Amino acid sequence: MSCRTDSTPLSPPSASPPPAAPLPAALSWLEPALEHLEAEGLRRLPRVRRGRQGREVELNGQQLLNFGSNDYLGYSGDVRLTRACSKGSCAEGFGGGASPLVSGQSVAHQTLERAIASLLSVDAALAFPSGYAANAATIPALVGEGDLIASDARNHASIIDGCRLSKARLLVYPHRDLTALEHALAAAGPAKRTLIVTDSLFSMDGTIAPLADLSEIAHRYAAMLMVDEAHATGVFGDRGSGLVEAAGCSDGVHIRVGTLSKAIGAAGGFVAGRASLTTWLSHAARAWVFSTAHPPGVAAAAARGIALVGEEPFRRQQLLHKAAEFRAMLASRSVSTTSDSATERSGQIVPVVVGEPHRAVTISAALAEAGYFVPAIRPPSVPEGGSLLRISLSWHHTEADLTSLAEAIGAML
């Protein structure tokens, strides 16, 4: 069996879809709901991507410089991952078959989990079908009725959904406001278990959680601390394991979540920590117990991506250097990014807040006209009035790419 590992794009489908039949009465609310989204500037129009994504991407037939992907280290189109996927698929077949509890775990998944545990220097890891599933399943497996969760106001939707599913009492503290967090915990009264949960690098704001202080607060309140490193895995830390490592607080973070879909260039999510934690999750995390594992070839590609993080530290070093340079380029053109970016460690997600959704869409479209793919991020991904241009940097970007984008944005704002 052989698989294509060249970069020839697949042809787009030739037949156009049949005309839509009229909606049945029970679904008649859908059209007005979509029109409302349109009027508010909140309608999303899916784009068709052709070929691999990297420094450039072809969207709806237009070749653009790609500032809209979470492929931070440039591995998603890397032939080494494609080959690993092909080899893993050839060895173990493509489909996952059933939940790992039912049909067994593939060797590729076992290898991947060991690679993750080794990267994070923890006992064990559990691979989930996605990062979303990891968060949404882990929180209800750890806390329930009678328990307490403290969650940062800007946490990712999958954390929010996990909190809702858990039925635990929820305290949402203002973004990174530790004084408010402490007041809320002190005022909350007794709970059987307490969980503090935060993103490490916030996906839309580009801000970084004060992890060392959070671990100290968690210790004082005998709370579990769960940190989602979706955007930090592979990018931060000497070993590339994330911001927990970079902040030197690995011992104080009990539950480490990550995704394999961003810097690692593959797909899937994981939870890592003590062996008893992952063993418990393999019984209680419903998205692990009741969902088919992602394909062994995907696990093999993810394991290759993890290995590359160890083999190619220069990619993350250069990426963070480029990010700092790009922020400086924007600042010199009076374009402000996250308010505290100058005073703390900053990352590869550079948001430029523009306010209203229509404005974000208009500027994003103008940037596309000029040859740059910079997505407009609107509610509910960000709060009302906080629509932004989310610039994701990749290791592939050149200094000339960054300068020209900074110039284009400076001229448009």
Ligand X SMILES: Cc1ncc(COP(=O)(O)O)c(C=O)c1O
Spatial separation of the C-alpha atoms in residues 346 and 33, rounded to whole Å:
39
Three-class SS state of 381: coil
- Of 230, 277, 306, 352, the residue at the interface with ligand X (CB under 6 A) is 230
The one-character DSSP state at 25 is G
The one-character DSSP state at 171 is E
- Of 132, 270, 372, 373, the residue at the interface with ligand X (CB under 6 A) is 132
Could you say which residues in the range 388-407 bind ligand X, by CB under 6 A?
none
Q: Are 409 and 367 in contact (CB under 8 A)?
A: yes
- Of 89, 105, 135, 278, the residue at the interface with ligand X (CB under 6 A) is 135
Q: Are 173 and 205 in contact (CB under 8 A)?
A: no
The tokens for 411 are: 């001229």
Taking the complex as a whole, the smallest distance from the CB of residue 167 to ligand X amounts, in Å, to: 21
Q: Are 70 and 34 in contact (CB under 8 A)?
A: no
Q: Which stretch binds ligand X (CB under 6 A): 28-36, 98-106, 128-136, 404-412?
A: 128-136
Could you say which residues in the range 181-210 bind ligand X, by CB under 6 A?
199, 203
Q: Give how far Cα 171 sits from Cα of 31, 83, 273, Å.
A: 36, 46, 24
Q: Which stretch binds ligand X (CB under 6 A): 32-40, 130-138, 145-153, 289-297?
A: 130-138
Could you say which residues in the range 243-272 bind ligand X, by CB under 6 A?
259, 261, 269
The arrangement of strands across the sheet holding 387-392 comes to: 349-355, 387-392, 376-377
Spatial separation of the C-alpha atoms in residues 285 and 288, rounded to whole Å:
6
Q: Give how far Cα 184 sits from Cα of 113, 143, 159, 199, 217, Å.
A: 36, 18, 19, 19, 12
Could you say which residues in the range 146-175 bind ligand X, by CB under 6 A?
156, 158
For ligand X, the closer of residues 171 and 232 by Cβ is: 232
Taking the complex as a whole, the smallest distance from the CB of residue 355 to ligand X amounts, in Å, to: 22
Taking the complex as a whole, the smallest distance from the CB of residue 332 to ligand X amounts, in Å, to: 29
Taking the complex as a whole, the smallest distance from the CB of residue 71 to ligand X amounts, in Å, to: 12
Spatial separation of the C-alpha atoms in residues 297 and 278, rounded to whole Å:
22
For ligand X, the closer of residues 92 and 199 by Cβ is: 199
Q: Which residue is nearest to ligand X (CB)?
A: 131
Taking the complex as a whole, the smallest distance from the CB of residue 323 to ligand X amounts, in Å, to: 17
How many residues sit close enough to ligand X to count as binding (CB under 6 A)?
14
For ligand X, the closer of residues 78 and 152 by Cβ is: 152
Taking the complex as a whole, the smallest distance from the CB of residue 185 to ligand X amounts, in Å, to: 23
For ligand X, the closer of residues 126 and 408 by Cβ is: 126
- The contact mask relative to ligand X for 57-96 (x = CB under 6 A, - = no) is ----------------------------------------
Q: Which residue type, as a one-letter code, is found at position 101?
A: L
CA atoms within 13 A on the CB side of 89: 18
Q: Which stretch binds ligand X (CB under 6 A): 22-30, 109-117, 124-132, 161-169?
A: 124-132
Spatial separation of the C-alpha atoms in residues 393 and 65, rounded to whole Å:
11
Interface with ligand X, residue 288, by CB under 6 A: no
Of 105, 160, 120, nearest to 258 (Cα)?
120
Taking the complex as a whole, the smallest distance from the CB of residue 267 to ligand X amounts, in Å, to: 7
DSSP string, 200-215: SB-TTT--B--HHHHH
Residues making contact with ligand X (CB under 6 A) = 130-132, 135, 156, 158, 199, 203, 228, 230-231, 259, 261, 269
